[in-house]
Amino acid sequence: MSRSFGSPSRYIQRRGEIARLGEHLAPLGRKPLVLIDAFLFERYAETLGTNLKEGFEVRFEKFGGECSDREIARVTAIAAEHGADVVVGIGGGKTLDTAKMAAHRTNARMLAVPTIASTDAPTSAVVVVYSDEGVLQEAHNLPRNPDLVLVDPEVIVAAPVRFLVAGMGDALSTWYEARANIEAGTFNYISGGFPATRAAIAIARECHAVIMEQAVKAKLAAEAGVVTQAVEDIIEANTLLSGLGFENCGVSAAHGIHDALTVLPEIHGLLHGEKVAFGVLCLLVLENRPQSEIDETLRFCRTLGLPTTLADLNITEDVPAKVRWVAEAAVKGNITHATRAPVGVQEIEAAILAADALGRAA
């Protein structure tokens, strides 16, 4: 009968919103540490430095490229040295996760400004930590979500469209993994874990409905460099709906297989949502879902250019051995077991190989 729900305090999505950063910072603190993706550092450190010149004692720092223990410790030390009362992350999911962890360790407020809509990291209290080489190490569930998530659609559309599409791949998993957790009776990630609320389940369903309806229109508009209603809806689905859905319902084998894939060097050039999309196909096979559902997912991925085969993931040599390696890694993670289906090395191995076969036959 118990249940729990977590979310950021505020979510704001509006064109040109990054230029209003100071207005949003003022209620949170006056000594911000602003952590910015390396690719964007020169651009935003200069423009935001001018905008935040009055009323703030701001320090800008360039993100090191990986959300690892080493980088988290470095940024945390800088935040402490600066006396930051708010940490701002500007960039992709790993930048934001590093900022979230530094804010947590220094008891500072946290403001997330995603510059791509490729993952649902901005809204959550979950931080995924990798090795310096990009192999997933562990996930931390922080006691609170970001104070504010600030999304500027013009910034999102300016990024390569591949990131937006990868976000759709990540969002594709939201409802399927929520359903897996509901059927298995497993818990979400709020306050130690509770059953999902009806609100969370509705959000996960709506996330799926939005991406199925708007994905192609949004991709084409983004390729044209314009912000349309479809683009706005997909940004919300990738960022807010998917973020609230996964954190409040739970993830499952789609993310478990994604995490396990990080042990293979050849997949490190792929984006999170691209790997998750293939993991979704594996989950549907593992749970023996109706062929119509698998076919719909295959069409969705193929239309958008998301991976549907092992070759799409650059896994073309020593395939049986590598699939076994991935399966062994996947079953070590708790999230892979959040499903009603039997989960063991053989089951995961079979699901991966069968999903690959379905992808090649499509």
Note the maximum CA span of the chain: 61
Amino acid (one-letter) located at 328:
E
**208 labelled catalytic:** no
Nearest to 208 by CA among 248, 184, 177, 253: 177
- Exactly one of 170, 233, 312, 356 is catalytic; name it: 170
Between CA 168 and CA 105 the distance in angstroms is: 31
Q: How many residues are recorded in the chain?
A: 362
Between CA 173 and CA 179 the distance in angstroms is: 10
DSSP state of 40: G
SS3 29: coil
**272 labelled catalytic:** yes
- Exactly one of 104, 208, 255, 337 is catalytic; name it: 255
**268 labelled catalytic:** no
- Exactly one of 24, 208, 272, 337 is catalytic; name it: 272
Between CA 16 and CA 219 the distance in angstroms is: 21
What is the sign of the dihedral through the CA atoms of 272, 150, 193 and 102? positive
- Exactly one of 82, 104, 208, 258 is catalytic; name it: 258
**82 labelled catalytic:** no
What counts of helices (H) and strands (E) characterise the chain? 14, 8
> How large is the angle between the packed helices 198-223 and 161-184, nearest 10 degrees?
160
Give the C-alpha distances (Å, rounded to integers) separating 49 from 15, 22, 179: 20, 10, 45
Enzyme catalytic residues: 170, 255, 258, 272
